[in-house]
Amino acid sequence: MIDFEPDEEQALIRETVRQFAQNEVRPKARACDEARAVDTAVLEAAHELGLVANALPEECGGGGARSAVTGCLVAEELAWGDLSLALAILSPSLLGFPVADLGTPEQRAQLLPGVLGDRPAPGSLAWVEPRFAFDPLHPHTTAKRDGGDVVLDGAKCFVPWQDGLAHVVVVARDDEGLAAFAVPTDAPGLTATREANMGLQAL
């Protein structure tokens, strides 16, 4: 039988993150929501905990301690503090995990140092599309080769976007099926606008 009861180390991590959420996240949540911006001091303090870096593979420079159960416990406690700030704190994983798992050695060397550096570097993932009955395995966004380049065509929604974001992982459909691309946020033709959502105003 699978046992999802946290072990001693996971219980310690959960308690540490819970205290962080109580002392650092909750007190700043309303101000960040009203300012529609994330407090960089919260991100820097969270970065020191190594919540994302410790979960990246050792061969990529991380701690190699990736666990779905631990990840859920961390996300749950941070979201108890505030959902917007939780997403902002964990956003580097949206870039780091896909690149670590699926990226080329060149992509790892280029993109992972920002996730593993001394200062927090946001990441993002553009997968969901603004259409009824969206199917994550069959996105309408397309990727087509144009010489040595790839042209992406489509629209995404619910994409975490913070100041300093340098790359966003875009999921699209190419001739072979589902594919993901690390796209510079200053790429020609890429536009991003704030969504009129209820909640998550800090993102």
- The rounded distance, in Å, linking the Cα atoms of 77 and 5 is 16
SS (H, E, C) 25-86: HHHHHHHHHHHCCCCHHHHHHHHHHCCCHHHCCHHHCCCCCCCHHHHHHHHHHHHHHCHHHH
Is the confidence at residue 1, as pLDDT, over 80? no
Report the number of secondary-structure helices (H) and strands (E) in the chain: 7, 5
**And the tokens for 111?**
């993109």
Please list the residues that pair with 54 across neighbouring strands: none
Residue range 58-85: average pLDDT? 91
Please list the residues that pair with 73 across neighbouring strands: none
| pLDDT of amino acid 17 | 96
- The enclosing H or E element of 69 equals helix 68-81
- The rounded distance, in Å, linking the Cα atoms of 201 and 77 is 19
| Choices 1.10.540.10, 1.10.10.10, 1.10.260.40, 3.20.20.70: CATH for 8-112 | 1.10.540.10
| pLDDT of amino acid 108 | 92
Q: Are 100 and 52 in contact (CB under 8 A)?
A: no
Residues in Cβ contact with 7 at an 8 Å cutoff, skipping those fewer than 6 apart: none
| CB neighbourhood size of 167 (10 A) | 23
| pLDDT of amino acid 183 | 95
Is the confidence at residue 99, as pLDDT, over 90? yes
Tokens 């629209």 belong to which residue?
155
Q: Are 29 and 84 in contact (CB under 8 A)?
A: yes
| pLDDT of amino acid 109 | 92
* pTM for the structure as a whole: 0.88
The string of pLDDT tens digits covering residues 131-158 is: 888 999 999 999 999 888 999 999 999 9
Q: Are 64 and 53 in contact (CB under 8 A)?
A: no
| CB neighbourhood size of 146 (10 A) | 7
Specify the amino acid at residue 186: D
Q: Give the rounded percent of residues in the chain with a pLDDT score beyond 70.
A: 100
What is the residue extent of each domain of the chain? Answer: 8-112
- The rounded distance, in Å, linking the Cα atoms of 84 and 61 is 27
**And the tokens for 83?**
């959902």
